[in-house]
Homo-oligomer: A and B are copies of this chain.
Amino acid sequence: MSTRPSKDLETFPNPNPQRDYTIRIDLPEFTCICPKTGQPDFAQFKIEYVADAQCVELKSLKLYMWSYREEGAFHEAVTNKILEDLVAATDPRFIRLTGVWNVRGGVYTTVIVEHRKAGWQPAPKVELP
Contact = CB atoms under 8 A, between A and B. Distances in A.
Contacts of A36: 1
Interface in A24-77: 24-29, 31, 36-40, 42, 48, 50-51, 55, 58-59, 61-62, 66, 69, 74, 76-77
Interface residues of A, number: 64
* Copies of this polypeptide in the complex: 10
A38 B109 contact: no
Nearest to A115: B19
Chain B CB within 10 A, most for which of A15, A74, A116 = A15
A108 B126 CA distance: 22
A51 B109 CA distance: 14
Given A15-B80, A94-B126, A25 B112 contact: no
Interface of A: 1-4, 14-16, 19, 21-29, 31, 36-40, 42, 48, 50-51, 55, 58-59, 61-62, 66, 69, 74, 76-77, 79-80, 94, 96, 98, 102-116, 122-123, 125-129
